[in-house]
């Protein structure tokens, strides 16, 4: 398959980018126009900045390449999706307190009344945004399927949390920064009042099940959840700064994930019946 040249921009889009776009769209059940550049880049195995450079800085050349391949990329994203994405970017780059319907409407190129019609109010918009960019939905999806033994599940959950912390826009790190800076802020409290019960219902319920099965120490679900998430969040929030001053002493991402997973297992996992029989 030859490269496709957009006659409008002159930008050549490689076939592997077109194929990655189509795979990402199919995997997410959306049109090619609705797939984010982040998702396309991930599917193509490159960074978002590299993808933007390869398509000439905008989606126009990519859309033309899709049409040349016989695929209509689709229309503009609905207001809901545009609002969620721009709100995530605002929180990541400027902080939670900067999010107003006026600013979101301007960035999403929609009207303030359309945001009220879609979300009802700012609190619901924030709830949806943090649900989208927190690990909550991914945790629920993982724990709802067959996820292996305790050790393997802990590893997968740890990697999932790390991926969420590193995902653009960096909404979760921005929220945690707000927690440390303004723990009594109404916005911060509202988000945590919304997300904490759901996190406990997912991750906490799974840990409680492991306690009941005799695989994990009998500790309160909140403490078990904090033992699993606290060290991971602390390390990967500071990692960008630490990498600038002590890069030689910083282990790789996969080694770090395994270290934290093993530390949690050593702290809370109970010997299995088979282990006890072998020791006897």
- Same domain? For 214 and 275 the reply is yes
- Same domain? For 53 and 142 the reply is no
Report whether 133 contacts 164 (CB < 8 A).
yes
- Same domain? For 99 and 207 the reply is no
- Same domain? For 189 and 259 the reply is yes
Of residues 33 and 232, which shows the higher confidence score? 232
Q: Identify the three-state secondary structure at position 266.
A: helix
Q: What is the pLDDT of residue 256?
A: 95
Please report whether residue 186 resides in a domain.
yes
Task: Give mean pLDDT, residues 98-106.
Answer: 93
Total Cβ atoms within 10 A of residue 252:
8
Q: How far is CA 243 from CA 40, 203, 218, 251, 269, in A?
A: 27, 30, 37, 10, 31
| Residues spanned by the domain of 57 | 7-68
> Distance between CA 35 and CA 211 in Å, rounded?
40
Report whether 122 contacts 99 (CB < 8 A).
yes
Q: What is the pLDDT of residue 158?
A: 95
Please report whether residue 125 resides in a domain.
no
From the list 93, 117, 92, the residue with the least C-alpha distance to 101 is: 117
Q: Which of 24, 49, 68 represents a domain boundary (last residue)? A: 68
Of residues 269 and 79, which shows the higher confidence score? 269
- Same domain? For 144 and 271 the reply is yes
Please report whether residue 73 resides in a domain.
no
Task: Give mean pLDDT, residues 155-161.
Answer: 93
- Same domain? For 98 and 188 the reply is no
Q: How far is CA 174 from CA 70, 92, 94, 118, 182, in A?
A: 41, 5, 9, 25, 12
- Same domain? For 220 and 269 the reply is yes
Instruction: Summarize pLDDT for 63-92 with one digit per residue, the tens.
Output: 888 888 877 776 667 778 889 999 999 999
Report the CATH number that the domain containing residue 11 is assigned in CATH.
1.10.10
Q: Is the pLDDT of residue 10 over 60?
A: no
- Same domain? For 140 and 266 the reply is yes
Q: What is the pLDDT of residue 8?
A: 46
> Distance between CA 170 and CA 128 in Å, rounded?
15
- List, in sequence order, every residue forming a beta bridge with 269; answer none if it has no partner: 216
- Same domain? For 145 and 270 the reply is yes
Task: Give mean pLDDT, residues 162-188.
Answer: 85
Instruction: Summarize pLDDT for 251-263 with one digit per residue, the tens.
Output: 999 999 999 999 9
Report the CATH number that the domain containing residue 253 is assigned in CATH.
1.10.357.10
Number of domains into which the chain is organized: 3
Please report whether residue 40 resides in a domain.
yes
Q: What is the pLDDT of residue 275?
A: 52
Please report whether residue 128 resides in a domain.
no
Handedness of CA 220, 177, 39, 110 (dihedral sign): positive
Please report whether residue 161 resides in a domain.
yes
Q: What is the pLDDT of residue 33?
A: 78
Mean pLDDT of the chain: 84
- Same domain? For 140 and 267 the reply is yes
- List, in sequence order, every residue forming a beta bridge with 216; answer none if it has no partner: 269
Report the CATH number that the domain containing residue 94 is assigned in CATH.
1.10.10.60
């Amino acid at each position: 398959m030859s490269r496709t040249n957009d006659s409008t921009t002159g930008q050549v889009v490689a076939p592997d980018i077109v194929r990655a776009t189509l795979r990402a769209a199919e995997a997410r059940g959306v049109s090619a126009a609705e797939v984010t550049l982040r998702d396309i880049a991930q599917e193509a195995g490159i960074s978002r900045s590299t993808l933007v450079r390869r398509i000439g800085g905008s989606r126009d050349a990519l859309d033309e390449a899709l049409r040349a391949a016989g695929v209509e990329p689709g229309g503009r994203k609905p207001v809901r999706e545009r609002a969620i994405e721009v709100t995530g970017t605002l929180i990541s780059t400027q902080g939670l307190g900067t999010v107003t319907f006026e600013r979101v409407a301007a960035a999403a190129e929609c009207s303030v009344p359309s945001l009220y019609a879609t979300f009802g109010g700012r609190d619901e918009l924030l709830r949806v945004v943090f649900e989208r960019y927190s690990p909550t939905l991914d945790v629920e999806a993982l724990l709802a399927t067959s996820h292996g033994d305790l050790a393997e599940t802990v590893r997968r959950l740890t990697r999932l949390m790390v991926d969420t912390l590193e995902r653009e826009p960096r909404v979760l790190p921005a929220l945690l920064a707000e927690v440390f800076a303004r723990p009594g802020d109404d916005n911060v409290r509202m988000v945590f009042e919304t997300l904490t019960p759901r996190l406990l219902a997912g991750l906490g319920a799974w840990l409680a099940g492991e306690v009941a099965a005799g695989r994990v120490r009998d500790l309160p679900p909140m403490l078990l959840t904090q033992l699993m998430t606290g060290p991971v969040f602390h390390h990967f929030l500071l990692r960008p700064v630490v990498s600038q001053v002590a890069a030689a002493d910083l282990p790789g991402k996969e080694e770090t994930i395994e270290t934290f997973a093993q530390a949690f297992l050593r702290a809370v996992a109970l010997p299995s019946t088979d282990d006890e029989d072998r020791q006897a």
